[in-house]
Amino acid sequence: MTAKLEPNVMTKVSSWLNGDYDIDTKQSIQQLIDEGNDTELTDAFYKDLEFGTGGLRGLIGIGSNRMNRYTVGTATQGLANYLNKAFPNEAKSVAVAYDSRIKSDEFAKIIADIFSANGISVYLFEGLRPTPELSFAIRLLGCKSGVVVTASHNPKEYNGYKAYWDDGSQVVAPHDTNIINEVNAIQSIDEVKFDGDSSKITKIGTEVDDKYINHILSLSISKGALERQKGLKIVYTPLHGTGVTLVPQLLAKMGFEAVTIIEEQAEPKGNGQFPTVVYPNPEESEAMSKAVEKAKQIDADLVMGTDPDSDRVGIAVKNHHGEIQLLNGNQTASVLIYYLLNAWKDAGKLTGTQFVCKTIVTTDLIDKMAAAYDVKCYNTLTGFKYIAQVIREKEGKEQFIGGGEESYGYLIGDAVRDKDAIASCAMIAELTAYAKDKGLSLFDMLMEIYKQFGFYYEGLISLTKKGKSGADEIQQMMADFRANPPKTIAGSPVVRMDDYKALTTTDFKSGNTASIPSGEMGIESSNVLQFFTEDGTKFTCRPSGTEPKIKFYVGVRAALEKNEDFDSVYASLKEKVKAIGEELNLK
């Protein structure tokens, strides 16, 4: 073995070569050694995959830092061990779902087998299903846990594993740490029980679909507008993912008669290759380009696209120039929450106990709107599991209306405890019909919001830093911002810094430092920094928990007096975000 490898990498490589791993895996490792491919060996073995904000996620391939039957198997065995300790002497069941990615169905079968071999009953979806339906199924079927195999919107080379708890939310503290401890306690692959018990595995399908769809239909608020605007022209693309299993039939049940599906992206073909897109991510304009082009051809009112596991949705609408324009996640979250607040108010349902929820990097426009309706707005760390945590903490005391995050994930109602692109597609279509019923486009509604509450604009600067060297560089960038916080941003003095790793907030004017409350409301120690300026600019630094990236969120705002000023104000805010990126040397 090459002497250039670090000792911990050499130890892991040796354990895989000498352990009970299949011959193909061992031959692939040996080939990398023979080729002297130290970089690939290091990246594949320098660490174990860990649960981040989205669970287990990584490149598909050999090694402890890759998605394969052994890392998936070890994670599942650890989860099974924890479930058996957490719920002793109880009958336990889990739900398992999967998306259209490479090896997703294979990994799902392995997961089901391991749970069943550990005496845990399994509800395994018979085919592709959206992630939010897995969350719904856990609650519906009374499961203690659940797993969905997906890497969400990551590139095709990735797959992943999201673990859920009995309330249908992704695992949070202390369960996440406890599961990892159980995984780490596994000393040998021989401890993983790969031989399943088929008598404990039950296939589920349309019976759960029907209950999930009926739940979403029950969330509808403006039934009159739906009936009057059933000819609303909608273009939908599932981007080769699971959305095709439910969104078209859901829109049909809502009464929409002019829905166009992008057929070449309607089937999850290509063996997880996503052949018509570079990235299957509705945040990317390229991924939405076929749907947008179709919308231009047929003069559509609304474009929607869901990612492979259907927890995120991107949209496009006609702007004030009559052109099809993509909205970002903050804009979509804003119109959704605005619509829900208005609808609840009109229905006389706002009693002072309602709340909405968002993450700390999502637009503060939502905070301002909620305050105007006397509705609380709770802010959490990034990751929808923290929004679910707030819902759980407030259950029986306060009522959740809806919530969202800037990365295109939204939730309406609390029957699902994860971001839900299926229900979001339904509600976005409904609010577009509601607006049209009043002679407005969805974009007109957005401009009305900006005029009433202020024009909030958020930019994201995302830097990819791959491998171990990239991870080291990301950590150094965070250390530098902590040691030398910016004095000014875009000419405005920085007045406050929130450090979520230390759980402290520092007032630079007074020099006082106080604690950020932890434990409840989705706040725990996390490597995130936020800086606030005198003029209302917010700057956030955050390494991704699921990708080799560091993300910088820049929020700025200005007044919008009239619609005619939209373009000039928008341009000035975008330029300000760009200038901040250059000023802070974000590259």
The catalytic residues are 152
DSSP class of 516: P
Return all residues near 170 (Cβ < 8 A) that are at least 6 apart.
54, 55, 162, 163, 164, 383, 384, 385, 388, 418
Q: Using CA atoms in the order 506, 512, 514, 516, what is the torsion angle rounded to 10 degrees?
A: -20
Query: Do 399 and 350 contact (CB within 8 A), yes or no?
Result: no
- By the 10 Å C-beta count (0-12 exposed, 13-18 middle, 19+ buried), 258 is classed as middle
The continuous run of DSSP H or E covering 320 comes out as none
Measured in whole angstroms, the distance separating CA 353 from the mean position of its chain's CA atoms is 27
Q: How far apart are CA 573 and CA 568, in angstroms?
A: 9
Query: Do 129 and 97 contact (CB within 8 A), yes or no?
Result: yes
**What angle, rounded to 10 degrees, do the helices at 442-453 and 421-437 form?**
90
Query: Do 243 and 266 contact (CB within 8 A), yes or no?
Result: no
Classify strands 145-149 and 158-165 as parallel, antiparallel or unpaired: antiparallel
Q: How far apart are CA 325 and CA 317, in angstroms?
A: 5
Angle, alpha carbons 573-556-387 (nearest 5°):
130
Classify strands 399-405 and 376-380 as parallel, antiparallel or unpaired: unpaired
**Which residue, 490, 431, 489, 449, is CA-closest to 365?**
449
Q: Which residue type occupies 328? A: N
| Residue 569 backbone dihedrals phi, psi, to 5 degrees | -65, -45
